[in-house]
């Protein structure tokens, strides 16, 4: 996969791919900046694509896209390992294949893009690299209530009802209990809990799905 940016200053790209084991200057300062840029622009992307997701869901989705393993895989697709400048010890021990080194180099490269061409160029590059993963995330990110509804609809069964059982705690630390009521394929009730009514409904729907999983594949 090609990097969606052509550097005007090749020295910036080289610095981004220089591990501290190779001596100074190295990419740690760039990695610090790239981490902030990546988190900000991925947060923006998720905010746009998941308008109904709450803060907790958005945080989980971002963690699925921005973690050491995921970033290392992106670095491999960009073939950054072959371009890394490593000290003899790291080279001998296979540092060019290590997730942490690859992930850091990827973040440093994003900062280098920003310094080379500005904020919009960095934003565009991040979006281009994350779009395929975002599409996969969207396929996997259907919440429990949606999946339960689709499970029932595919079988021509009645949709669930959600009943608030209890709401306790302060305004800043509430706790909800909700029951998911199913009339088909057989009457059943599943209780869920959460820090919001929606979260409790999701928990109850997940429990209902787990109970239904053995009914029909």
What is the reported pLDDT for 199?
84
Outline which parts of the chain fall under CATH 3.30.160.20: 144-212
The CATH code that applies to domain 10-140 is 1.10.1520.10
Instruction: State the greatest distance between any 2 C-alpha atoms of the chain, in Å, as a whole number.
Output: 68
Residue extent(s) of CATH 1.10.1520.10 domains in the chain: 10-140
Contact 8, 113 (CB under 8 A): no
pLDDT at 217: 32
**For 54-91, how does the pLDDT look when each residue is reduced to its tens digit (9 = 90+)?**
787 788 889 889 999 899 999 999 999 999 999 999 99
* pLDDT tier, 174 (very low <50, low <70, confident <90, very high otherwise): confident
Residue 163: active-site member: no
Question: Is 107 an annotated catalytic residue?
Answer: yes
Q: Which of 95-99, 196-200, 212-216 has the highest mean pLDDT?
A: 95-99
Does 7 have pLDDT greater than 90?
Answer: yes
Rounded CA-CA distance 161/145 in Å is 11
Residue 24 DSSP label: S
What 3-state DSSP class applies to 156? coil
| Residue 25 to residues 19, 22, 30, 92, 169, Cα–Cα distance (Å) | 9, 9, 11, 21, 53
Model pLDDT for residues 111-167, shown as the tens digit of each residue: 999 999 999 999 999 999 998 888 777 665 567 888 899 899 999 999 999 999 999
- pTM of the predicted model as reported, rounded to 2 decimal places: 0.67
Residue 36 has pLDDT above 90, yes or no: yes
Residues in the chain: 217
Strands 174-182 and 188-194, sheet pairing: antiparallel
Which top CATH class is 144-212? alpha beta
For the record, the structure tokens of 72 come out as: 């290392």
CA Rg value for the chain: 23
From the candidates 31, 104, 107, 116, which is the catalytic residue? 107
- Provide the percentage of residues in the chain whose pLDDT is more than 70: 95
CA distance 103 to 87: 17
User: Which candidate in 35, 90, 104, 116 is catalytic?
Assistant: 35
Question: What distance in Å separates the CA atoms of residue 151 and residue 155, rounded to the nearest whole number?
Answer: 7
Q: How far is CA 185 from CA 151, 161, 204, in A?
A: 11, 14, 17
Based on the number of CB atoms within 10 Å of its own CB, is 150 exposed (0-12), middle (13-18) or buried (19 or more)? exposed
């Amino acid at each position: 996969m090609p990097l969606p940016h052509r550097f005007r200053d090749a020295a910036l790209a080289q610095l981004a791919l220089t591990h501290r084991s190779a001596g100074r200057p190295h990419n740690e300062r760039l990695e610090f900046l790239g981490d902030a840029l990546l988190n900000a622009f991925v947060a923006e992307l998720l905010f746009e694509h998941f308008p109904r997701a709450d803060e907790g869901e958005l945080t989980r989705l971002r963690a699925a896209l921005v973690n050491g393993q995921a970033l290392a895989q992106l670095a491999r697709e960009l073939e950054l390992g072959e371009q890394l400048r490593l000290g003899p010890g790291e080279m001998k021990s296979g540092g060019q294949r290590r997730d942490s080194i690859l992930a850091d180099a990827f973040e440093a490269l994003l900062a280098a893009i920003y310094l080379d061409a500005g904020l919009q160029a960095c934003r565009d590059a991040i979006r281009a690299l994350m779009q395929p993963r975002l599409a996969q995330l969207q396929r996997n990110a259907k919440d429990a209530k949606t999946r339960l509804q689709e499970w029932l609809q595919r079988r021509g069964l009645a949709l669930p009802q959600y009943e608030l059982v209890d709401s306790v705690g302060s305004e800043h630390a509430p706790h909800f209990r909700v029951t998911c009521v199913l009339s088909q394929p057989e009457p059943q009730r599943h209780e869920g809990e959460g820090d919001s009514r929606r979260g409790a409904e999701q928990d109850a729907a997940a429990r209902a799905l787990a109970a239904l999983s053995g009914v029909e594949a």
